[in-house]
Structure formats: structure tokens, C-alpha cells
Amino acid sequence: MKNLHLKIKPVKHITFVLCLVILSSSAQNTINSGEGTYYTGVAGGNSGNCSIFVAAGDYLHCALNTIDYDTAAACGGYIKVNGVKGSVTLQIVDRCPECKKGDVDMTQEAFAIIDDVVNGRVPITWEYVENPNTTNVKIRFKEGSSKYWTAIQLYDLKYPIATLEYLGANGDWVAMERQLYNFFVATNGIASPMQLRAIDINGTALVFNGISITEETIVTSQQFSKAVLSTTTQDALTTHVIYPNPTKSKVTIKGSGPKHWQLLDAQSRVLKTGVSSQVDLSAYQQGLYFLTLLEDKHTYKLVKH
């Protein structure tokens, strides 16, 4: 694959941000446990499954087990790994197919920080943390992208992305399909210039306007904001409160006026619509969902557990 990180230009188009005040996601705050191992790593290229460039000599990266890798949903995220000797913060840039859920395969240099290398396989705990190195979000198109087939990657993110959408010709947001190699793909292509909306694992959304297909990396003027944690889900721009969140079954929408809503899955597919003050998620699997209130066009993140 051509290394597109060498050609970078700032984006010249106006962008705006929609920040949601949400309850933390399970991915963000869960303490995970498993085994830590080490491998040679992928420093000096973008050969990891996440297709993220890792500089030569940068050994603070890791491969995550296939389950937690979650079809590249973890790519670009940072985790703090704890062992008997200490802790180390690593970027997820690769996948470990043979690892069990909870396992982290890190470079030998990183492993040496948390345990003695001679031990080889050791018990660890880990959790997601904010990217300590972030400036602004960068966008790149996969080689071969065109208006007939478009593949997009966002990187240098505070937190991993949950969904990426583009604005369709009819004014609706269209979800792109995430690939195992960490690009979002529109198989029918997207015409340039395009409008993109990215939502991170905390439910914060960024919208990028006037993005055109190019071989150069686009440096935007935006970055995801740090999540604001609460015992309920409430948008700072509205009077609606959604609780309990996380939920095992139903959530209640508290606020004035009618409650026309859409329930979407993590790929922004509409699961059902309704006009009521309650939304029942009991028929759905555990995971991340989005609830859009149609009156004010605001979207809230829901966690089903």
C-alpha cells in the first residue's frame, strides 16, 4: 500500500462540531483482564491490520485480540496496560488472531515495562485511555478510491470511531461499512466534495464539510472533545434527559413536547421508530445504540448491557 502519510495538506473548508453529553461507554471505562504477550511489532510502516503508520523506533504499540479488535473498531485507540512491574500506554495498530478475549500482544520493549521478558506470557489488566499525542483529526483515502468506490480512514483521534457516515443526495446520513483493515467503505462511491460525520465511542460527533478525494492526507481543524460523564444521558443543547443509561431493557425520555424518535444500531441502521416517552431495547443484543429525537435532530448514545 502506498504510504499516504508523507503528503499532508490542511483542509481549507469550514467544519463544525456537535458535542453530546453522554454516559461513558462500556469500552471506555471497563477494566479488562487477560494475558500479555509480545511480538516484533510493526514499527517503521503500516503493515499492522489497522493500516496505521507507525514510525521507526516507536515501540509503544500493540495488537489486540480479535474479539476486542471488533472488526477494527479498536484501531487507533490507546490503552493503559498494567502488569506486576508497572503500566504502559500503547496504541492499538494491529490484531492478534490467535489471542483470546482480553489478551494484548505488545512489542517486547513495551512488555519489558510491565513484566520481565523471560516470563513471556503474564496476567494483565487494561483499559482505554485518551490519546496523549493528538493534535487534529486526519483523513485519508485508500489508494484506488473514486466516486465509484470510496474508502476512508480517520486517524490521530482522541478515541476510536464508532461510526462514519456521508451525507447522501437525499439529505440522509448513510453509514459506511468498516473493514477489518480499518477503512470505512462506500461500495457505490461518494461524489466529491463530500460531507462526513464521525461519531466516536463516547457518542461525540464531528462533521467535516467539503472533503474531496485526494492522495494527500487531509489535516482537519477539529478533534473530538473529552466525554462528559453523568448518571443520565442529557444533551447540553436540549432539555431532554434519557435514563437509565446503560440499560438492560427500557430507557425513558424525559422532557417537554412530543417524543418522535428513531433507534439506530452502531452502524447507523434504523432499527425502529416510535412516538412515546419510552424506548424498549430488551429485544436487542448488548452493545452500542443511538437514539435520535426527530423534533430537535439530536442524537444520544445508549449502552445496552
d(CA 77, CA 190): 27
Which of 23, 17, 21 is closest to 288 using CA atoms? 23
pLDDT tens-digit series, residues 48-105:
999 999 999 999 999 999 999 999 999 999 999 999 999 999 999 999 999 999 999 9
* Spans of the chain below 70 pLDDT: 1-29, 226-239, 256-258, 267-268, 296-297
Are 218 and 9 within 8 A, CB to CB? yes
| pLDDT the model gives residue 12 | 45
pLDDT at residue number 21: 33
Instruction: Name the pTM for this structure.
Output: 0.68
pLDDT, residue 18, reads: 40
Beta-carbon count within 10 A of 2 CB: 11
Alpha-carbon separation of residue 186 from 2, 128, 147, 149, 162 (angstroms)? 20, 29, 9, 6, 16
